[in-house]
Structure 1
Amino acid sequence: MNPKILIAIGVIGAAFIIIGMSVLFGALPKIVQDKVNEQMVLDENNTDIYDMFKSLPVPLQFRIWAFEADVSTFDGQHINTITYKKRGPYVYNEQRNKSFIEFSSDGNNVSYTLDKYYTFNKDESCPGCSKDDKINFFNPLFAMEQANLDSFIEANKKDPETLRMFESLIYNFDTIDDLLITGNSNLGQSILASKDFNTFIVDTGKSDIKQLEQVLSYADNSEITGVWPNNDDGSTSRCNKLIGTDATQYAPGLTGDETIWAFETLLCYSLYAKHGILPDRDVKDIPTYRYTIMKENFLETLENSCFCLEDDIKQCTSGMLNLKKCGAAIGFEFLASPAYFFEAPEHLKWTGLDKIVNIDDITEENCGTFFDIEPQTGIVLNAEKKLMLNIKVRPNAVPALKDLATDKYFNYQVSPFLYIEEAGGIDDENAKKLKDKLYPKKVATAALIIMIVVGVLLICVSVFLYFRQL
């Protein structure tokens, strides 16, 4: 064969490789990402993203376990002598819809209120469990702030039935459904389904796609107010910073190197998450990055000292957030913590949960909160949030607690109350829609890879034939 033809074949092969690699690793990702960014801007004309924004397409479930207390083992002084039985899960399906949606005149932000609806899922709940189950808890009314509790007792002195409940450490709630959803008649509110009438304002991503669905304002404030203290100099503390999205959507074009934030209304603060803590996984054959909420959100550090609501900072323990100024828990000293205190497992012995929980099972994978995010679109395809609610029990809160022990570190004890998991994964219909959006990039990528392979083969053939003729 004419050497000039062989050289031409090799040049063509080299051109295929250069063009293919330049487009594959240079122009193509930018072209595709720019197109995705355009489609992800929150706008009424972007039908798919707007429909997802209005009504969350990812089915959510709340799984709740209750720690039923057997106080026959209680020595009257130490909470950890109580024997607990973990009952559940009681599963509720959650539907989220946004109401009163209003875009700003320039289209850069949008306001709304969030509605949540709960339906008991008997099939997914524990065998034989019913939303009408009655469970014996350590009395959550004891978690009421002392001044409020004193007022409550004074107001009910003439009611023998009301006062009788203070003769025992057990209080039998009407039903698990009353406690979680409809609102218990004694607590006066529900743990899970209290209405949130506050207005959110979030970024639409129109002026900067990296700010897509970042919370700009909640309850008419650009920071969290009235819950956590500011810094000593009056500046906004880490605890009061309003950062992140609602953890259903993030900015498109994630690389895995970012720190992402989620604003959690149940805790009244923002938490940060990072990629690479737990292994990535595919969700319905769609590759994702797994971002994990960091332990440092809860650890006892100087940065987190603003979470302390005690008069003496030495009375605040690592990993427990007092919710007495937050949302539905206002007036009650419920202590929120990660699942089974996995960032501070020594608390298991303090609360008595060491009798029913194996400390070897307290791992990031079992107890951590994480989000599986499709990086090109920033859509959360799967998530698991895990949280415990505990009751702060004070000595002499009521006569029945007159002998409760204290030590040199804490003047209260902690009783486990509820363990809550919120989980959701994209359904088949929406997974298919997302795959369709990602399909053109896959086709283009495959074509370019084939082009590069052909280029390599052409060079190999031309070199082989050239030296064969020598």
Structure 2
Amino acid sequence: MFGVTLSLGLLLIVVSIVLVAVFPSVFRSRIASSMPLVNGSFTFKAWNSPSTPIYMQFWLFNITNPQEFLAGGKPLLNDVGPFTYQERRVKSGVEFNSNGSVLRYQQSTFYHFRRDLSCCWEDTNVKTLNLMYVGLTHKMQYSSIHWKTIANNLLRSGKHRLVMTRPAKQILWGYHDLLLKTMQPIARLAGATLKSELGLFADKNGSLGDPYQIRTGAGDVNRLGEILTWKGLDRLLHWNSSQANMINGTDGAMFPPFVSRSDLLYLFSSDICRSIYLKYRGDVMLHNTVPLYRFQAPAEMFMNATLNPSNRGFCLDGRCLDSGVLNISACADGAPILMSQPHFYQAAAQYQDALGGLSPGPEFDTVLDVEPNTGLVMRAAKRLQINMAVTPSRQFADLQNLNSTLIMPLAWLNESACLDPESAEKFRAGVLQPRDTVARVQWSLLAIGFLLCGLAVLCLGF
């Protein structure tokens, strides 16, 4: 009896040790083999036709004191929203290279208005900056008095003022402007091209997106989703350093598997024309079912070049902005567009103090919640603010009373997605539960094995 008990105990201990040593490698191998974007695979189908609902929400900044603002007073704002749209993403031109390690594609995004998730209808009027007025006066700021006078007369003839009132739908998705139409023949003679409509996202709804080349993870799963080229370029051209011009990481939808808390997650965002990195901020749960790692952009990403010298590469024309604001005019056809976090969260006080009605806070952080075994982003919220720079000028009546250049918010957005509870439970049952079951079994076997060995020794003593 002693021999049988001892042998069984030792056998269980050996089996449990083998499981402890072998199963993690088996589990990692299974994950690694299932994640690459191979044509026909589950991962490829989920990437090509995502089933998780994606929502884009906009809040438009409404100027509540336009007359005082034009007279030189501090603009007072309130944000009107959300105007919520459900996205439908369609991949096209999907093509693999000869060995399946690289994938080329373009994506069109269609936005469908969801009144049930919105504050109000799209025809709600908002007082905001006149995009034509700000754009044209910005183009003219280094021109001669002669050309500024012509531009001023054009604005007057079109009855353009610095502040306009338009429906939210037009501000977001575009509207026809008579002055823009008048200027198009002149622009063509000069070899330039003007858009047919003005709007923050006038060319985004349903238009074919930029071409990408990404790594599929075939052959090296650690490079899954890595962007190789954007618009045919393997690096950007508009920043002032090689580091700033690098295209790093993925598009933020997925990352290579086996993410650790110490990792920096790199991603490229075409919205802000640069690469960024995210740092681990804590453990969170998805629907009380799947444990995730939360990653957010660290404060140093938004610091000015004095506080963070590596950000000096993002200064344009030798002009460095203060913390929290990024000038993207070089990749916005020269328009005076600047990006920040909503309500100038984590931005320098000067930007917040110049305006009334802002309430910056951590709820405006961009957040990615990543499943660490697979690298899949299961919950995300990208939050950005679109601003325009308004510069004083004696030649334009509505700019004469400005005391200094004003960084004026137009809108902020929240693009979010979250895996639904049913899919989260399927993931837990199919991926996490088998791993956890084996873990419980191996430790149970180890405990039983030691118990049997202990009993055998006790029996021997008697």
Which of the five TM-score ranges fits, normalised by the shorter chain? 0.7 to 0.9
184, 190, 212: which one pairs with 2:175? Answer: 184
Identify the residue that residue 315 of structure 2 maps to in structure 1: 308
Identify the residue that residue 123 of structure 2 maps to in structure 1: 132
CA shift in 2, pair 1:145/1:12, >3 Å: farther
Identify the residue that residue 398 of structure 2 maps to in structure 1: 400
Counterpart contact for 1:283–1:381, Cα < 8 Å: no
Give distance in 2, aligned partners of 1:172 and 1:149.
Answer: 24
CA shift in 2, pair 1:156/1:392, >3 Å: closer
Kindly provide the CA deviation profile for residues 284-307 of structure 1, in whole angstroms up to 9, marking residues without a partner as x: 611111111222222112111121
Q: CA deviation at 1:130?
A: 0.5
CA shift in 2, pair 1:98/1:75, >3 Å: closer
What is the correspondence of 1:18-417 to structure 2 with a 5 Å cutoff?
A: 18-24=14-20, 26-46=21-41, 48-72=42-66, 74=68, 76=70, 81-126=74-119, 129-144=120-135, 146=137, 148=139, 154=150, 157=153, 162=158, 164-166=159-161, 169-173=162-166, 175-181=167-173, 183-186=174-177, 188-192=197-201, 194=204, 195-225=207-237, 227-229=238-240, 231=241, 236=242, 238-275=243-280, 277-283=281-287, 285-300=289-304, 301-313=308-320, 316-326=321-331, 329-344=332-347, 346-347=349-350, 349-353=352-356, 355-357=357-359, 362-363=361-362, 366-396=363-393, 398-406=396-404, 412-417=405-410
Aligned residue type for 1:205:
G
Counterpart contact for 2:343–2:358, Cα < 8 Å: no
CA shift in 2, pair 1:454/1:78, >3 Å: farther
Counterpart contact for 2:325–2:347, Cα < 8 Å: no
Q: CA deviation at 1:14?
A: 4.7
Give distance in 1, aligned partners of 2:132 and 2:285.
Answer: 43
Kindly provide the CA deviation profile for residues 76-135 of structure 1, in whole angstroms up to 9, marking residues without a partner as x: 5756x2221221111111122211100001111010001101011111112xx0112121
For structure 1, which segment, 66-75 or 138-147, has the greater mean C-alpha deviation from structure 2 after superposition? 138-147
Give distance in 2, aligned partners of 1:377 and 1:135.
Answer: 44
Q: TM-score, normalised by structure 2?
A: 0.85
SS at match of 1:74: helix
Counterpart contact for 1:281–1:290, Cα < 8 Å: no
Counterpart contact for 1:323–1:330, Cα < 8 Å: no
CA shift in 2, pair 1:153/1:432, >3 Å: farther
SS at match of 2:40: coil
Listed as ranges, the gaps of 5+ residues in structure 1 are: 407-411
Q: CA deviation at 1:450?
A: 2.6
Kindly provide the CA deviation profile for residues 310-331 of structure 1, in whole angstroms up to 9, marking residues without a partner as x: 4444xx22221112122xx323
Give distance in 1, aligned partners of 2:148 and 2:132.
Answer: 10
Q: TM-score, normalised by structure 1?
A: 0.84
Identify the residue that residue 188 of structure 2 maps to in structure 1: none
CA shift in 2, pair 1:77/1:22, >3 Å: farther
Identity rate, percent: 22
CA shift in 2, pair 1:55/1:156, >3 Å: farther
CA shift in 2, pair 1:460/1:369, >3 Å: farther
Give distance in 1, aligned partners of 2:366 and 2:116.
Answer: 25
Give distance in 2, aligned partners of 1:97 and 1:456.
Answer: 57
Calculate the aligned-residue CA RMSD, in Å.
Answer: 2.6
SS at match of 1:52: helix
Counterpart contact for 2:295–2:370, Cα < 8 Å: yes
Give distance in 2, aligned partners of 1:54 and 1:217.
Answer: 18
What is the correspondence of 1:441-456 to structure 2 with a 5 Å cutoff?
A: 441-456=435-450
Counterpart contact for 2:279–2:298, Cα < 8 Å: yes
CA shift in 2, pair 1:50/1:159, >3 Å: same
Q: CA deviation at 1:22?
A: 4.3
Give distance in 2, aligned partners of 1:296 and 1:196.
Answer: 34
Give distance in 2, aligned partners of 1:144 and 1:202.
Answer: 35
Identify the residue that residue 409 of structure 1 maps to in structure 2: none
SS at match of 1:106: coil
Kindly provide the CA deviation profile for residues 326-373 of structure 1, in whole angstroms up to 9, marking residues without a partner as x: 2xx3232121012333223514533314x442x6xx23xx12111111
Counterpart contact for 2:283–2:292, Cα < 8 Å: no
Report how many aligned residue pairs link the two structures: 431
437, 440, 443: which one pairs with 2:434? Answer: 440
Give distance in 1, aligned partners of 2:278 and 2:7.
Answer: 49
Counterpart contact for 1:56–1:97, Cα < 8 Å: no
Give distance in 2, aligned partners of 1:77 and 1:22.
Answer: 79
